[in-house]
Structure 1
Amino acid sequence: MKMSREQKYRLIEEAGEEELALLKQQVKQSPWRQKYHIQPSTGLLNDPNGFAYYQGEYHLFYQWFPLGTDHGMKYWYHLKSADLSDWQDCGIGIAPGDPQDSHGAYSGSGLEHEGQLYLMYTGNTRDNNWIRHPYQCMAVMNADGQITKWDQPVIREVPSGYTDHFRDPKVWRAGEQFYCVIGAQRENGTGSIVVYRSPDLAQWEWAGELSTSLTAFGYMWECPDYFEIDGQGVLLFCPQGLQPESDKYRNIYQSGYVIGDRMNMNTLELQHGEFHELDYGFDFYAPQTTEGADGQRIIIGWMGLPDIEYPTDQQGWAHCLTLPRELHLRNGKLLQKPVPALADRRGSKASFSGRFTGRQQVPDFAGEAYELICTYTAEDEQDHVPNEQSAVTAGQASVFGVELRTGENEKTVIGYDAQTQKLTLDRSAAGKPFAESYGTTRSCVLDQPLRQLHIFVDVSSVEIFVNEGEAVFTSRIFPSRGSQGIVFFAENGAVHLQAEKWDYL
């Protein structure tokens, strides 16, 4: 049942003990609680915020409405980790309720400066006529983990020519100046990104609109993020309002990037190539990156989407975050690879290696929380010796892949068409249906033949890394607890598979 406006915009201390106890009991009974993904204790999780490496640890916050699964009064919930695998619960990081964030502490970012972690975020306010007034606000965390909100916003006004859809500041440093990009909507109803600069993170001045070639690309750009890899500029953002184009842009809202020359900090011009989606699955949005301990670029996203009803909405909680991923640049595109520390979660191992046709079920290949690596290799037709240097070629199976979380009338299918090089994720029979109006399959054509599927399955999600990060499919699924089978398949021929599976603790 949807909440009223008054119910949604309450602080957590305004909820009664009985209400909170009932909510916790609902969550406890949910059959789809994750084993190793970040998820809320109650209520709704959405955007990752304030992601930063500070004082030898990774600090991560997320948008949190604790009292239900609607998008209501948002808090920043705080976690930290030494390795991006094991996370320590630090409780509420930023609570709303002050004049500058009376209706929510919305998304923002974190940056270390002079021994403190600066957290810049959008304060959501509404007046008596329910008109939105966004403020860009600042909070500072010291080395002891104490967070202090500043009394006054650092950016008070929406610049002329833009609507009140003005949010999600992402901060970085270039030389002696600090910069932030903010997602915006022009008064003509098109999305854009604006730039501010500051000498000290306190006094911000308008720099201008970021100049791209995407002048009419959706009606709002959320969650912008600018960084540089290998001397090139990368701009991440989430355009809303794109129309589907064949296999592209099938979700309600998109999340993607453009790559080009470094941003010209004087003209604010970004010369770039085409827009690429970051993830080809059903449930990925609002990602944020940070620079890691060794200079690597790390990304984490919200495994969900706005304006979609999920099965756990009726169980007192909604959504989780993706696993952290390292970003690399190759041939003008971003590669995403799971961070190495996730391997520390590996438990008991099962292996399989061999040539097969049809459907293959392997002993010890089952479960609801595990890591699975499938490596496919070509074979010589006469002696069937696997060739480790090449992928599956003509003469082998025309379609092959793996079915996950199989059970009575349930399965999540990853299938590859060797002729077209198209990989498809099919969740039409994955369990409890939802968001079917946006389709039940997602596909992309690979740049190279399929060599490897690196899969992370949790109780209610799958994350599939293809060919060492060339493509990623991230999706929620809601199967029955008994649907824990794994089935390998090859149609119209044979395939050689080496599979390794680890249970996750």
Structure 2
Amino acid sequence: MTKPGRPDAAELLAAAEQAYATYHEQVRTDPDYPALHLAPPVGRLNDPNGLIYKDGLYHAFYQYSPVHPTRAVFWRYATSDDLTHWQDRGTAIAPTDWFDKNGCYSGSGFVGEDGTFEFFYTGNVKDEAGNREAYQVLFTSPDQGKTFTKQEVFINGPEEGYTAHYRDPHVVERDGTFYAVIGAQREDETGAVVIYRSTDRRNWDFAGEIIFTDPALADLGYMYECPGLIQLRDEESGELKDVLIFSPQGMEADGEKYNNIFQTGYVVGTLTGTHFEVTTPFTELDAGTEFYAPQCFHGVGADGSQAILQGWLGNADQDDQPSWENHWVHMQTYPRTLTLRGGQLLQNPVPQLDRVLAPVPVNPASGGEIIEAKDARVFRLRGTVKVAGTPAHITVEDATGQALDITLDATGAALSRAGSRYTVGGTDRRRTLGKAAERTFDLLIDASATELFVDGGAAAFASRVYFTGTKRTVRVQGPVLSLEFARRAD
């Protein structure tokens, strides 16, 4: 099948290069630009894509719109040997062909038997009236990221009964058979996940829609985006379980849950064919103000013992952030290890973080601790506090006053960014946890990125907190049992 590609492809590619040349230095030197999180060299970033680990190197791709606010979605490429220092490798693919001329949408990566990198993504096409078409497309790199070539459309449109909101293929291998899970929308405008099977990753047969034993999963919203299927061994039961992570659109807020514009969560159970026996119902993955469309690295923990997740630290339709004054917006979360324990996913920063932050001595007192952190845009604070009597508070003040407040109490944890320079989408988030007399916390602040992990990763909060100036005063109020502070000198 041959059709004309994007008519303005040459102008688009030239505009992308011009945007980089004009604004990259301004982006790089923005005080809000992170040191440890993967962020765009210019323009807009969203979903992580095609995450691969091979021979000691992490290869990360992401949705990239260099000419934002014009929505022309590329895949940008970066590599790291420690998940912390990222080297920008340039554009991998651009929306220039007939099957992706309105966007190279999300997808996954796979390492072939001969070492070839294979990437499966959705090509988005719209006509002048806005009618959508969706194609699942393959591109490859035979030289592990030096060159990329688009190969073929491997699924030509949605199956009967589904709309053209049919995207984000995630390819996995189980016992010699390959499976692609794809986010879908039924014709009645409810969300679903479908499965294809293959023996060679080139020819795919439709297996059907995943049928969950939990009836609530039949209608969480109007579209299920970015499904990711992994296996983890439960540390309590020893069982190898299937974990399906996906992002429903159209869920209503429910108290402290589902308060972002779109949601991300997971279910745990056993997938047999298209039948998913659910043992853990849909559970929101992150309680913060910005988190969406996460993906795990292919090639890490293939025996079910380890998974490393990276998500989009952003939300759809919330691009008008202070960083856009310097021609960039959004970033990825810091990579997280996933552990399954008692049917619950625990999330924590990867251990590589310990290697890049220098410890600073602190002397915790029973009444609390004050840490003056002058010129500290990047730091980590972790410890244990008593919460049996009164709540403990961790506050971060900047040049204008309190910008961030974290509350740890006997029933859970809460985060407020009410004093920061950006509050679109809300300021306060809370997660109820099991009743406890003590709580542990791990707080990472990297310029305008804030990530908080509570009780060994039982709760995670990812939020954009825009501070003023570089001075930080960190206060820990409440009985402190242990405290560690580490920082990166700018």
| 1:444 equivalent in alignment to 2:431 | yes
How big is the shift at 1:16? 8.3
How big is the shift at 1:483? 4.7
Task: Check whether the contact 1:81–1:87 (CA below 8 A) recurs between aligned residues.
Answer: yes
* Structure 2 counterpart of 1:215: 218
Alignment partner of 1:274 out of 281, 294, 304: 281
Classify 1:81/1:31 alpha carbon distance in 2 versus 1 (closer, same or farther; 3 Å).
closer
Match of 1:341, SS state, is helix
TM-score (norm 1): 0.87
* Structure 2 counterpart of 1:428: 418
In 2, Cα distance between equivalents of 1:124 and 1:192:
19
How big is the shift at 1:484? 1.4
* Structure 1 counterpart of 2:394: 402
* Structure 1 counterpart of 2:345: 334
Deviations 1:251-282 (A, max 9, x none): 1111110111x2012x4434343211111000
Match of 1:314, SS state, is helix
Match of 1:170, SS state, is strand
Deviations 1:352-375 (A, max 9, x none): 222116xx4235587220111122
How big is the shift at 1:235? 0.7
| 1:264 equivalent in alignment to 2:272 | yes
* Structure 2 counterpart of 1:239: 248
* Structure 2 counterpart of 1:101: 100
Deviations 1:389-419 (A, max 9, x none): xxx43xx4x121200244423320001233x
In 2, Cα distance between equivalents of 1:100 and 1:408:
50
Alignment partner of 2:405 out of 398, 413, 420: 413
| 1:121 equivalent in alignment to 2:121 | yes
- Structure 2 letter corresponding to 1:504: R
Equivalences for 1:155-234 in 2 at 5 Å? 155-212=155-212, 213=215, 214-230=217-233, 231-234=240-243
Equivalences for 1:330-479 in 2 at 5 Å? 330-356=341-367, 360-363=369-372, 367-377=376-386, 392-393=387-388, 396=389, 398-418=390-410, 421-430=411-420, 432-435=421-424, 438-449=425-436, 450-479=438-467
* Structure 1 counterpart of 2:310: 300
Match of 2:325, SS state, is helix
% of aligned pairs identical?
A: 35
Task: Check whether the contact 1:366–1:485 (CA below 8 A) recurs between aligned residues.
Answer: no
Task: Check whether the contact 1:354–1:498 (CA below 8 A) recurs between aligned residues.
Answer: no
In 1, Cα distance between equivalents of 2:470 and 2:150:
50
In 1, Cα distance between equivalents of 2:371 and 2:49:
41
In 1, Cα distance between equivalents of 2:21 and 2:36:
24
Task: Check whether the contact 1:406–1:412 (CA below 8 A) recurs between aligned residues.
Answer: no
In 2, Cα distance between equivalents of 1:103 and 1:348:
47
In 2, Cα distance between equivalents of 1:290 and 1:448:
34
Question: What is the alpha-carbon root mean square deviation over aligned residues?
Answer: 2.4
Match of 1:134, SS state, is strand
Classify 1:291/1:190 alpha carbon distance in 2 versus 1 (closer, same or farther; 3 Å).
same
TM-score (norm 2): 0.90
In 1, Cα distance between equivalents of 2:11 and 2:346:
40
Corresponding pairs, count:
469
- Structure 2 letter corresponding to 1:324: P
Unaligned runs of 5+ residues in structure 1 are 1-5, 378-391
Extract structure 1 runs of 4+ deviating beyond 6 A.
none
* Structure 1 counterpart of 2:236: none
Task: Check whether the contact 2:264–2:292 (CA below 8 A) recurs between aligned residues.
Answer: yes
Unaligned runs of 5+ residues in structure 2 are 1-5, 234-239
Classify 1:59/1:82 alpha carbon distance in 2 versus 1 (closer, same or farther; 3 Å).
same
Match of 1:181, SS state, is strand
How big is the shift at 1:38? 0.9
How big is the shift at 1:111? 0.9
* Structure 1 counterpart of 2:237: none
Match of 1:488, SS state, is strand
Match of 1:439, SS state, is coil
Deviations 1:108-139 (A, max 9, x none): 00011212111000011222433221110001
In 2, Cα distance between equivalents of 1:340 and 1:305:
27
In 2, Cα distance between equivalents of 1:205 and 1:194:
11
| 1:499 equivalent in alignment to 2:466 | no
Match of 2:126, SS state, is coil
Classify 1:445/1:57 alpha carbon distance in 2 versus 1 (closer, same or farther; 3 Å).
same
Classify 1:11/1:156 alpha carbon distance in 2 versus 1 (closer, same or farther; 3 Å).
farther
